[in-house]
Chains A and B, each alone.
Chain A
Amino acid sequence: MGKTLAEKVWDAHVVRKGEGEGANAQPDLLFIDLHLVHEVTSPQAFEGLRLAGRPLRRVDLTIATEDHNTPTLDIDKPIADLTSRTQIETLRANCKEFGVRLHSLGDKEQGIVHVVGPQLGLTQPGMTVVCGDSHTSTHGAFGALAMGIGTSEVEHVMATQTLSLKPFKTMAINVEGTLRPGVTAKDIILAVIAKIGTGGGQGYVLEYRGSAIRALSMDARMTICNMSIEAGARAGMVAPDQITYDYMEGRPHAPEGADWDAAVEYWNTLHTDADATFDVEVDLDADALEPFVTWGTNPGQGVSLSAKVPSPEDFGDENAKAAAERALQYMGLEAGTPMKDIRVDTVFLGSCTNSRIEDLRAAADIIRGRAKDPNVRMLVVPGSARVRLEAEAEGLDKVFKEFGAEWRFAGCSMCLGMNPDQLEPGERCASTSNRNFEGRQGKGGRTHLVSPVVAAATAVRGTLSSPSDLESAPAGTLTGIAV
């Protein structure tokens, strides 16, 4: 019988098969092709190596960057927050001691770890990629098996370049059809999460398939795979194709010459065989999708933007009902309110979900020639220093600044507010990030997850809005929307 994409990548990395069968089987030992490191989840792992007197086995398969704590203003000055500064300085000292390549704040390759790997060409099809960050699932967009790990596992990978893992089950997410204008990859994944729930993917590797997925750019596929973890899945994948190869070719660490040919020959085998079966299949109709938005405090609590805030009574399950009640209270929302009537204070365009060049272009296309609602502040935080440079070369920074948005330096920023970019208590935000948990963007902050184009339209109108709600779209505005 044939294999799924996930099974092929898994099987190609087995160093040692676990003994036993079925539920009693020991885990397999898998080789890890790329280990991405950042300042938050690594200090205790480096310390563990030091205490045990162990070397870092493969520094040539390891790369670090600074992202979670880094400020997005005044990056040439010392970091004001002393604990943040200590954590960054600890990463620098550890990388120096163990010989790990590090892209520090101010470096052209610095940025969010999940933006940096792909843009350097280090993320490639068929690889195993790990990082002490749950959004490592992003790299699955290349047909890699990529997953977030905890700090003990970070130390394990540093010491052994392997991970002990029990095989996952497989789930196909079939998205057929054509997205309507203004509907994006973010809306696909928010709809998937709302459909299967925050625990629906638990124990599975998701494979996104179907004509709507095949039509997506790499940036858009990364958005989808990024949020697999929000459905409970540790990894999400898209089979590589010509769009993947076109993205890869010429990147600094992409294979060259004969290596490129050998790589492509291998990459062409990385798809689910026709006679393979998934443990579960889920279908989503792309034609019927509308822009999506969350109303609650977990990413599964989402609805179409044209819908109303649901009532706890809409949920049959007692736990879901209680969760909805609590979420509405935290979010300061009343059941039955049209989502589009909800006024926001802040718009955040950024995060490993939506901070790549196409995301910035799509948002810029919406706001170009329009005025920002004066009561809304908008933060634009490119995913990497390289994305920032690229955007500036295209003049996107001017579009954002003329609109009245703040044009910042790269990092995780307001997605999780470990740096000074935070919401105030009660402040409401339309955010292109990935988590609407209580307090995630700042204590008491209220988050609505949206796509970049919805974020942009919301900044214009001041209320949650889709691009189609905007009056008299300037000619050509909608052509650049990434789907």
Chain B
Amino acid sequence: MEAFTTHTGIGVPLRQSNVDTDQIIPAVYLKRITRTGFEDALFAAWRKDESFILNQAPFNAGSVLVAGPDFGTGSSREHAVWALKDYGFKAVLSSRFADIFRGNSGKQGLLAAQVAQDDIELIWKVLENAPGTEVKVDLVSKTVECGNVVAPFDIDDYTRWRLLEGLDDIGLTLQYEEDITAYEATRPSFKPKTLPAKVDAR
């Protein structure tokens, strides 16, 4: 994973709460078996509407999405994060993220920065009054800057550290392989195994 320290780019105000993952990427695009190439799928249904914000310059070149509360609810599809990244987004700001979406973002180097709703409202106003204003997201100081607005954001320390270092999760865990093996030796015999396969005789 690429390390993340700071990013500055055009902010996109998305004045909507409960942006669920079916909106971020409709299910029909989940049939692909690749991990990249989802830029066309991002907000696919909404982008058919010409007035949608990503169809307007300069927002179409945006890289910091500023959304309402409860962003990324619904399905666990990591494709939602892939689509945002493939389109060019580096960070999403919201006052509340769905747990699975936030986890997926952390694995993929997309910064999910939790910003108080009052500050989101101020940033929306700046971005709407002066389209094309850049938002600076600083993971080191955990602050966002947009016009005259400077606001702190929350992110858990472990995710922040992994993002700053650009660390691969599986590699980190495999350092503890001996612990995993030791745990496996203690599992009770009544716990089920999928193999050999048993099926209903009926």
Write the residues of chain A forming the contact surface with B, with a CB cutoff of 8 angstroms. 15-16, 18, 23-27, 29, 31, 33-34, 40-41, 43-44, 47, 52, 54, 57, 59-63, 68-69, 81, 83-84, 86-87, 90, 101, 108-109, 119-122, 124, 127, 132-134, 148-153, 155-156, 159-162, 164, 166, 198-199, 202-203, 229-230, 232, 234, 251-255, 259-260, 262-263, 266, 297-298, 319-320, 322-323, 326, 386, 389, 416-418, 435, 437-440, 443
Contacts and interface: CB of A to CB of B under 8 A. Distances in A.
A61 B197 CA distance: 11
B85 to A, nearest CB: 12
Given A232-B98, A298-B73, A437-B23, A319 B158 contact: no
Contact of B192 (A16, A34, A443): A34
Contacts of B174: 159-160
The 5 residue pairs across chains A and B that have the minimum distance between CB atoms = A152-B107, A150-B104, A150-B78, A43-B33, A252-B198
B22 A16 contact: no
B31 A417 contact: no
Given A60-B195, A124-B192, A323-B16, A162 B76 contact: no
B199 A108 contact: yes
B191 A439 contact: no
B115 to A, nearest CB: 14
Contacts of A322: 15-17
Contacts of B103: 149-150, 153
Given A127-B191, A438-B45, A134 B33 contact: no
Contacts of B20: 298, 435, 437
B191 A59 contact: no
Interface stretch (B3-11, B54-62, B136-144, B177-185): B177-185
Chain B CB count within 10 A is highest, among A62, A164, A254, A326, for A164
Given A416-B27, A418-B31, A443-B45, A160 B180 contact: yes
Given A40-B30, A83-B31, A298-B73, A262 B188 contact: yes
A152 B104 contact: yes
Nearest to A122: B192
Given A31-B180, A31-B184, A84-B31, A54 B170 contact: yes
B179 A27 contact: no
16 contacts: A109-B199, A150-B107, A152-B78, A153-B104, A164-B169, A199-B96, A199-B98, A202-B98, A202-B99, A203-B99, A255-B190, A262-B188, A389-B202, A435-B20, A438-B23, A440-B27
A41 B100 CA distance: 14
A90 B33 contact: yes
Given A33-B191, A438-B45, A199 B69 contact: yes
A192 to B, nearest CB: 16
Given A63-B194, A69-B31, A255-B190, A24 B157 contact: yes
Given A41-B78, A319-B17, A323-B16, A156 B170 contact: yes
Contacts of A122: 192, 194
A132 B170 contact: no
A197 to B, nearest CB: 8
A343 B191 CA distance: 49
- Listed residue (B28, B170, B190) with the most chain A CB atoms within 10 angstroms of its CB: B190
B53 to A, nearest CB: 14
B31 to A, nearest CB: 4
Given A24-B157, A151-B78, A153-B107, A198 B190 contact: no
Contacts of A232: 70, 73, 98-99
A29 B198 CA distance: 30
B28 to A, nearest CB: 7
A16 B79 CA distance: 30
B23 to A, nearest CB: 6
Contacts of A84: 31
Given A162-B180, A164-B172, 6 more contacts: A59-B194, A84-B31, A109-B199, A161-B184, A203-B99, A234-B100
B92 to A, nearest CB: 15
B68 to A, nearest CB: 6
Contact of A152 (B28, B73, B169, B193): B169
A323 B17 contact: yes
B173 interface: yes
Interface string B31-49: 1111100000000010000
Contacts of A159: 170, 173-174
Contacts of A234: 99-100
Contacts of A133: 75-76
Given A121-B192, A439-B26, A15 B169 contact: no
Contacts of A43: 33
Contacts of A254: 192
Contacts of A438: 22-23, 45
A198 B18 contact: yes
A41 B157 contact: no
Interface in B72-91: 73-79, 81
Contact of A149 (B34, B100, B176, B202): B100
A424 to B, nearest CB: 15
B148 to A, nearest CB: 23
B200 interface: yes
Contacts of B117: 319
Contacts of A437: 20, 22-23, 74
Nearest to B97: A202
A259 B183 contact: no
Given A199-B98, A437-B20, A418 B28 contact: yes
Contacts of A27: 158
Nearest to A91: B33
Contacts of A59: 194-195
Of the listed residues B31, B103, B172, the one surrounded by the most CB atoms of chain A closer than 10 A to its CB is: B31
